[in-house]
Structure 1
C-alpha cells in the first residue's frame, strides 16, 4: 500500500499531461499516433481519477511519451532524473500558446501553418 505522501500514478499522469499543455483527448491521440495503441479520452480520465490503472503496456508507452522512467510514473521515485525532463515539440509549444489565448482543443495543421507564418512575419518586421 502506498503512503499518503506519495503521488499516485493518476496524479503523475495528469501532472505530466498538463505540463505538456495537452488535453486528455490530445494525450490519447498522441499515444495512438506514436505507438499505434487504442487509448481514448475516457481511459485517460479513468487513469487520472484513479478509477482504473493503465495496463503495463500503456505505462511503458506513457513513460516513453513523457520521457520519464516507469518507476517515476508509478510513484516509486519522487522526481524524474535530470535527463528525463519532458521534451516539448514545436507543435506542442504552439498549442500551449494557443491555449493561453483562449483556444481550446488541438490545432489543425492549417492553424499551425497560420501561426508559424504570423511568427515569421512578426520576426521579420522586428529585424528591420
Structure 2
C-alpha cells in the first residue's frame, strides 16, 4: 500500500523502484481503505505500508493481522515511549501485534540499525536478550 508513491514511486501505474517480481502496488489511495481493499480482493500473503499511526490505519492493520496476513509497517518516532503516546500504536504494541520491532536512525548514515526487539520489547542480538524496552531511552 503506497498512499503517496513513496515506496514504489509509481509513474503511470508502473513502479519505478524495484519492489520485486510478485508485488502488486496500490498507489494513490488512502492507506486504511487501500489495505482493506487489498486484503479483500488480492488474497495477499504479505501487506507492506509505511507511516502508520492514524486510528483508521490501526483498525485496517488489526483486520489484516486477524486474517492471518503477515504485515510489514513503519511508524515514525524518536523512541518507543513516543510511539506509546499514540493510542492506536500503543494498543498494537501492548497486544504484541508485531513480532519484531526494528529501530532505525541516521546516526551513522540512513538506515543505521539501533536495535532489533521482540514483541515484548526485549533487545535481540544473536538470539540473546540484551535488555528491554523499559530500560531503553
TM over 0.5: no
Larger Rg: 1
TM-score, scaled relative to structure 2: 0.26
Q: Which has the higher contact order (CA 8 A, sep 6+)?
A: 1
Greater share of strand: 2
TM-score, scaled relative to structure 1: 0.27
